[in-house]
Amino acid sequence: MSESLFASPPRAFLGVERSVLGRPWRGRLDALGEAQAQAIAQIHGTGDLLSRVLAGRGVTPDEAQDYLDPTLRNLLPDPFSLQDMVAAASRIAEAVERGEKIAIFGDYDVDGAASSALLSDYFIACGTPCMIHIPDRIFEGYGPNAEAIKTLAHDGAKLLIAVDCGTASHAPLVEAARLGLDPIVLDHHQAPEILPQAFIVNPNRQDDLSGLGQLCAAGVVFMTLVAVQRLLRERGFFSAARPPPDLLAGLDLVALATIADVAPLTGLNRAFVAKGLALMHARERPGLKILLDIAGLAGPPTPYHLGFLIGPRINAGGRIGDAALGARLLTLTDPLQARLVAEELDRLNRERQELERATLEAAEAFVLAGPCLDNSAAIIASGDGWHPGIAGLIASRLREKFRRPAFAVAFDANAMGTGSGRSIPGVDLGRVVRAAAEAGILVKGGGHAMAAGITLARERLGDFKNFLEANLLAAVAAARADEALLIDAALTAAAANSALLAGLARGGPYGAGNPEPVFALPAHRLVDVAAAGNGHVRLRAEAADGAKIDGIAFRAASTPAGEALHAARGSFVHLAGTLAADRYGGRERVQLRLLDLAPAA
């Protein structure tokens, strides 16, 4: 009989069975993990905390060295392992050799902008004429469309490359071929069984055996360019007068897209992001350099900065302004032009923030006025006149607040809704949305596990809600039953110093799939709690030995966490969060980014 039948449940970390946010705290390591951590420390001399972090992410002693130094040399697979890569790369290489004009059709988000810029940089370096088209979110919608393709054909394009879109665009790609544009798709979204008539390089198509489904579109584009460059070398295209482009110079774009698209930072993606962040720190791409300056980032960029400071600014044009601004910024070489575009994106981002605040209030009121959420698998908020460009942001906020998959749908004057959904770990939203589209409930729908986009008529909103309940209930129940906050280790304020951060950075870059280390600070007294800008809450906590640490709870002002912080001022609490360098005011100190708290018994 299995010993697991008699295994006791994991003990609560610091005895916290129900935190302020209603979840238990658990140690990330089980008995086997503890043993692995000890072995990693003994073999590699990585110290106790870093060894625990590595073991907590499934790293074995044999894998630890490569994990600490992810390199493309060791992790980059043969690009021709991707389905359709031979045909796609051959056609692109042919276009480069002939000097044919290439049309790049990108999505309007960061991944689409970075993918488009990556291709454009390569073609320009090869002397190949190219043009980028990013569709307007409102007037053109997602993916290739016939009108835009007609314009590209009229402007002389002979090859159409759709990036971060196109996997389900049957009719537009047929139109492209009819107009004389050979269509190629470089994408990563979940694919239907029947694909459009095109060369489609997508590691998530059902017949692809490459095992690279974790790549974002920019990762797929990079793999494609590796293949194209290999073919062009073999064909003698390059010479002393025409050297091959430096593919590694584009890794800053791949890193940006990987983080902004929340692709898992495992395997090849870790190497992309590690090398891309180092490249970005050199600030050689004018558009990114100016955006980093505008965001006030003086030190080395991290996944946090790209995900929360840079990505939203590049996205702002696609959400509420000119969708082409992001891709344009990433391709510009003139610092003066780049500054003008970056400043416009920063202005649009501030405008987007105000719009998001107002819409989020309406969305939360809509949800709270509806049926009880306790037994609901997913929530859908909808409204007339909402800006569809921020639907994904609203869905993300609703998911955070109500801790289940969420959709936000903006209905226009014709009762047609455009919406976005965001999921929770363990619940594949893209699969269910695609099934709803195939069932005729949605006009259009697709995406990946954690995010999806939909178009539907108002009268089908109830049908879609019922479809979600029927198809997500079991998965959501299982995911929510296992949503304990996992703690890597306990430490005090005195131990949270720059040396600790530097040691932990060796296990990075951290993000999706390689979560930031979470630490618990036991029985620290809240000596100060105050409201900060944009709904944040600042705090200062003191350990028994008098050591203090500053912290921040993002967007917590009107949440149970924020209310509990103010109520507990002067009291002893257990705090849990991640650690980061705070360089505000010209000096560096370690800051706690609060995730949860609980009373200290």
Kindly report, residue by residue over 58-107, the tens digit of the pLDDT.
999 999 998 999 999 999 999 999 999 999 999 999 999 999 999 999 99
**Which CA distances in Å does 491 have to 94, 236, 543, 551, 575?**
59, 59, 10, 15, 10
Residues 314 and 192 in one domain: yes
- String of DSSP letters for 9-70: PPPBGGG-SS-TTS--EEES--HHHHHHHHHHHHHH---HHHHHHHHHTT--TTTHHHHHS-
Residues 325 and 458 in one domain: no
CATH number at residue 511: 2.40.50.140
> Which one, of 198, 200, 235, lies nearest residue 93 by Cα?
235
Residues 409 and 289 in one domain: no
Residues 471 and 377 in one domain: yes
Contact (Cβ atoms closer than 8 angstroms) between residue 226 and residue 245:
no
Q: Which residues of the chain have pLDDT under 50?
A: 1-8
Token code pair at residue 93: 């290489």
> Which one, of 311, 312, 318, lies nearest residue 135 by Cα?
318
pLDDT at position 8 is: 46
> Which one, of 302, 327, 222, lies nearest residue 269 by Cα?
222
Residue 426 CA to residue 446 CA, distance in Å, equals 18
Contact (Cβ atoms closer than 8 angstroms) between residue 517 and residue 579:
yes
Token code pair at residue 332: 């510009």
Number of residues written out for the chain: 601
Domain-located, residue 47: no
Asked which of 481, 500, 533 is the last residue of a domain, the reply is 481
Residues 443 and 538 in one domain: no
Token code pair at residue 522: 């036991």
Helices (H), 321-334: 325-331
Residue 575 CA to residue 559 CA, distance in Å, equals 16
Residues 452 and 490 in one domain: no
Domain-located, residue 41: no
Domain-located, residue 437: yes
User: ∠ CA 267-68-582 to the nearest 5 degrees?
Assistant: 105
**Which CA distances in Å does 554 have to 20, 532, 593?**
15, 9, 8
Helices (H), 334-390: 335-368
Residues 255 and 158 in one domain: yes
Domain-located, residue 360: no
CATH number at residue 426: 3.10.310.30
Residue 358 CA to residue 454 CA, distance in Å, equals 22
Asked which of 445, 464, 481 is the last residue of a domain, the reply is 481
User: pTM surpassing 0.95?
Assistant: no
pLDDT at position 585 is: 63
Residue 366 identity: F
Residues 286 and 380 in one domain: no
Phi, psi of 195 (to 5 degrees): -100, 160
Residues 217 and 268 in one domain: yes
Residues 6+ apart with CB under 8 A from 39: 61
Domain-located, residue 34: no
Token code pair at residue 205: 């198509």
Helix-, strand-, coil-residue percentages of the chain, each rounded to 5: 45, 20, 35
Other CB atoms within 10 Å distance of the CB of residue 333: 11
pLDDT at position 584 is: 66
Other CB atoms within 10 Å distance of the CB of residue 494: 13
CATH number at residue 99: 3.90.1640.30
Residues 225 and 262 in one domain: yes
pLDDT at position 1 is: 35
Other CB atoms within 10 Å distance of the CB of residue 78: 12
Domain-located, residue 354: no
pLDDT at position 192 is: 87
Asked which of 481, 502, 533 is the last residue of a domain, the reply is 481
Instruction: Please give the tally of structural domains in the chain.
Output: 3
Domain-located, residue 56: no
Domain-located, residue 224: yes
Residues 450 and 492 in one domain: no
> Which one, of 268, 277, 246, 288, lies nearest residue 110 by Cα?
288
**Cis peptide preceding 509, ω within 30 of 0:** yes
Q: Which domain holds residue 558?
A: 3-28+485-599
pLDDT at position 298 is: 79
User: ∠ CA 408-414-417 to the nearest 5 degrees?
Assistant: 20
Residues 413 and 398 in one domain: yes
Token code pair at residue 144: 């290739």
